[in-house]
Structures are given as structure tokens and as C-alpha cells.
Structure 1
């Protein structure tokens, strides 16, 4: 089956971020929305987005396709429903379309002719810009459970102070020295080839993605994600860095994307 993530009705409410990316490529939690769906599906996806973004994010259409509203974050039960969709079927939640089956020769989609199936699970949905940080803690927990399942963390160095070891996962190649990790209120994920420098204090839920650095003496509060290839210092609370960003100064950043 071919899976296509489409922007849906909330794209404009997610501006300015969706000026330069589809909704599917927003990072919330540890992974982007696309990465979450691909992890669950075990397949790559393509995107239906604005025309000016199509060259960078082309859509691949096949004979049989399932269109997925990218504002919805996947769960096991939702993915099972999506995989089970048949011709002229759609999954709905409170009159919103979550996913539907379509064929390449189908010129129009008339949902009045579809069999509408109620979504069986609770979910996280990103409708507004503030949802990205206000729901980030829940998304970190969901992603942590997904990507660390049946895996073993690298050992926590002896010079690191920590609380709740079972909620801390360190990927191969990550460096943590003389830091404090408090995972009492959720998971702490430390990505591949990332670094937490000396004196940093981190409270969960927290995600540090691949190749990023937390600078010396940083104070990071919960519900915070540092995307890939970032450098972050100072005091940060309930914020999401998509990636390739730099906050090297000691100032405060909170409730931000």
C-alpha cells in the first residue's frame, strides 16, 4: 500500500512554520510527524502539500493509496485501522477525516459515498502553533516508548547524577559528563552523537536529537525538545527546536517553537 500524508485544514493555523515545510515535517516530541508515521507503518511516505513546496516534497501516487491527515499523530490502534482501510472507506473522529482510501483514477473524493469508520483510540492532534509546545511532553513520552521498545540504552557514565534510570535512554555515540538528569516526571532521550556538557541540569520530559549539544551550565526544564544539529545554552522551558538552530547565550526561552 502507498501512504500519502496531506496537510489538511490546519495548515494555515500552523503558519509561519508551514511556509517552508509540510505539516508532516513539523517536529513534536522526539520525531517529526512523518517520522512517527513511517516508524509505525514500516514504510516511507510522500506528501500532498502546497504547489510551491512540491519540488522539494513530491507526492508519489500509485494505483491504491491511503491519504493520512498529517495533523494526527499515530498510535498503534490508529495505525491498525489505517492499514485495514478498504476502497471507499474513511476513518473519522468527530466529523474530521483522519485517513481515507483512494485510487489513482479517482478524480474526486465524495465522502457522502464513503463508509465512515469511527476512530477507536485517543490521539494527539496538532491544530495550532501552540499545540507544538503545549502537547510536546505527551509526544515525547509516546515517541520514547516507540523508539526505545526492546532496546537497551548505553550506560549512564559514573560521573552523571541521575534520578529514575529506567526513564533515561542514551543512544550510541552520545556524550554526557558531570551533568544532572532528573527523569522523575517522564523520559529523557539523548540522541546519537549528541553531547551534554559539564554542569548541565535537565528535567524530564526531554529529548536531545542527533548531533546536538547542550552547553555548560544549561538549565533545561521539562517538555523540551532540541532537534538535530542544534547548540543550546542558558535556561529553556517547554520549548521545541525543530533543528539546525543556535541559542548559545545564557538567556531564558520558554513556551516557544
Structure 2
């Protein structure tokens, strides 16, 4: 069977992260949504997404296909139902298609399908940007169970204070030095070739992905994921770094999400609670206004390739687009459009030639290439987001 992940109805609600990736390539828990599905299905997947992303994330159609909503995280129940789909069958949750069978070239009309309602209570979806951190606790627990089943952890080194050791898993090549690992509230996963430096204090659920680093003396609270080859330091609470991003210095990050190739300058902080304790609103690209999150704690959403200078201060509920460069004193606005350059005193347009020069250098430092395909995607984002830049 051929499995294809599609963006579904929530793609625009997950901007700025879906400017540069399909919905299925959002990281929540230990793995991306795509990696979760590939793990439980035992097959690789392809993607139906926006045209400008399709060169990097192509779709492969075969004679028999099952399409899966990329905003849905797999569970054992859902995976079993998806595997069992046959011709003209679809799984729905209320009015939303979760998965359906399609023949090659078939025009899908759900009126002609047998609709199977998903009634289990274990359905988890990423429908809003803030779901990425608010549902991260449970997502880590699910991934931990799948990834560690039937496997043996590397031994916990001497000098490490470990609480609830059976819920701590250390992959091959990881280095863990004289730190505290408290898995009493949820599991702790330490990925291949990752490193936790001495003096760090970590509470689960927590995921440190492959090749990532926790700097000396870091304080990491529950529900946090540090994505592959990222660096994290200071104080972090219930936040997700997708991958190849750095928050390597002192400063507070709370209830926040960073895309890939982001960098926080030293002593940067974000607020995650309003002074009046009111629910937080976040910029909504679809309505072009600030949407209710219903959350009392909500910090910063930062798109791929965005960066900030030392001592930057982000207010509660701030959204930063793709490839923004922020610096200077004071609080920048709660919505900073993609390809913006500046801070609280004003913004100018960050031209693509300059942005691409930086992206090439940053990626080369990690042994990766900034390709023509990457440039085309960011050129599209630059044009698509011009309406929100003032100059």
C-alpha cells in the first residue's frame, strides 16, 4: 500500500511553520508527524501540499493509495484502522477526513464512500500553532513508548542523579555528564550522539533529539523537545525547537515554538504570561487579526531562519515570521512579518539576497547545503508575505 500525507484544512492556522514545510513535517514529541506515521506503518510516505513546496516534498501516487491527514498524530487504534482501509472507505472525525483510500487518478467524492467515524478518545491533532507545545507532553509519552519498546537503554553514567530510571532512555553515542534527570512526571529520551553537559537540571517529559546539546547549568522543565542538532541553555519550559536551532545561552523561553535554523542571542527572554493573567491572543494569518488561544500561558512562535540579537525581549503571544532578523532595545511588535529587519524602533525589509547569504553560511556550518529549491521556497514566502511588511 502507498501512503500519502495531506495538509488538510488547518494548514493556514499553522503558519508561519507551514510556510516552509507540509503540516506532516511539524515536530511534536520526539518525532515529526511524518516520522510517527512511517514508524507505525512501516512504510515511507510522500506528500500532498502547496505547489511551491512540492519540489522539495513531492507526492508519489500508485495504483492503491491511502491518504492521511497530516495534522493527525497516529495512535495504535488509528494506525490499525488506517491499515485496514479498502476501496471507497474513509475515516472521519466529525466532519473532518482523517484518512481515505483512493485509486490512482481517482476523483474522490465522499458521498460515494463508506464513512467510518473515529470514536476513540485518543485522537490527537495539531490544529493551531500553540498545540505544538500544549500537546507536547502527551506526544513525547507516545513516541517514547514506540521508540523504546523491546529495547534496552544505554546505562545511566555514574555521577548522574536519576529519578525513575525505568522511564529514562539513552541512545547509543549519547553523552550525559553529572546532571539531574527527573522522570517522575514523564519519560526522558536522550537521542543518538546527543549531549547533556554537567550541572543541567531536567524534568520529563523531555526529548533531546539526535545530535542535540544541552549546555552547562541549563534548567529544562516538562513538555520540552530539543530537536535534532539544536543547542539549548538557560531556562526552558514546555517549548519545542524543531531542529538545527540554537537557544544556547541564559535567558527564559516558555510555552514557545522555534522552527529550524533559528538563533536566540544571549540573555534573550520571552514572556509567557500577561500581567493581568488574561488569556493570550496570537496573530492569525488567515483572519489577519489576533485569535483567541484560550491559554493563560503562551509565549513565542518563530518561523524558520529567524534570529534575534542579544538581550531581545519578546512580549506574551508574539509571532515572528520566516527569516526575520530582530535586534535592539524594547519589545518588538506582537507580530513581526517574514523578512523583517529591525526591532521596537522600526522595521525595514530584509532583502532575500542578504537573507540567503546568511542562510548559506549557517547551513554550511552544520555540513548542509542551502539549495536552489530552498531559495525558491523562501522567494515564494517573501512574495506571499509582502502584504504585511510596511516597506
Question: Retained in 2: the 8 A contact 1:78–1:120?
Answer: no
Tell me the SS of whatever aligns to 1:112. Answer: helix
Q: What is the correspondence of 1:191-210 to structure 2 with a 5 Å cutoff?
A: 191-210=191-210
Question: Retained in 2: the 8 A contact 1:13–1:127?
Answer: yes
Cα shift at 1:120:
4.4
**1:173-218 CA-partner distances (Å, limit 9, x unpaired):** 0000100000000000000000000000000100000000000000
Q: Residues of 2 paired with 1:113 and 1:87: CA distance?
A: 11
Q: Residues of 1 paired with 2:14 and 2:24: CA distance?
A: 11
Q: Residues of 2 paired with 1:235 and 1:194: CA distance?
A: 19
Cα shift at 1:105:
2.8
Q: Counterpart of 1:224?
A: 224
Q: Counterpart of 1:50?
A: 50
Q: Counterpart of 1:245?
A: 245
Q: Residues of 1 paired with 2:246 and 2:180: CA distance?
A: 22
Tell me the SS of whatever aligns to 2:85. Answer: coil
Q: Residues of 2 paired with 1:248 and 1:110: CA distance?
A: 50
Q: Counterpart of 1:81?
A: 81
Q: Residues of 1 paired with 2:94 and 2:116: CA distance?
A: 11
Q: Which structure has the bigger radius of gyration? A: 2
Cα RMSD, aligned residues only? 0.6
Q: Counterpart of 2:12?
A: 12
1:41 aligns with 2:41: yes
Tell me the SS of whatever aligns to 1:11. Answer: helix
**1:46-82 CA-partner distances (Å, limit 9, x unpaired):** 0000000000000000011000001110011111111
Aligned length: 256
Q: What is the correspondence of 1:97-246 to structure 2 with a 5 Å cutoff?
A: 97-106=97-106, 108-121=107-120, 122-246=122-246
User: TM-score under structure 2 normalisation?
Assistant: 0.65
Cα shift at 1:44:
0.2
Q: Residues of 2 paired with 1:105 and 1:209: CA distance?
A: 38
Q: Residues of 1 paired with 2:239 and 2:105: CA distance?
A: 44
Q: Counterpart of 1:65?
A: 65
Higher relative contact order (CA 8 A, sep 6+): 1
Q: For structure 1, which runs of at least 5 residues remain unmatched after alignment? A: none
Tell me the SS of whatever aligns to 1:10. Answer: helix
- Runs (4 or more) in structure 1 with deviation over 2 Å come to none
Q: Counterpart of 2:378?
A: none
Tell me the SS of whatever aligns to 1:30. Answer: coil
Q: Residues of 2 paired with 1:81 and 1:248: CA distance?
A: 42
Q: For structure 2, which runs of at least 5 residues remain unmatched after alignment? A: 258-391
Question: Retained in 2: the 8 A contact 1:5–1:24?
Answer: yes
Q: Residues of 2 paired with 1:166 and 1:192: CA distance?
A: 18
Q: Residues of 2 paired with 1:105 and 1:183: CA distance?
A: 49
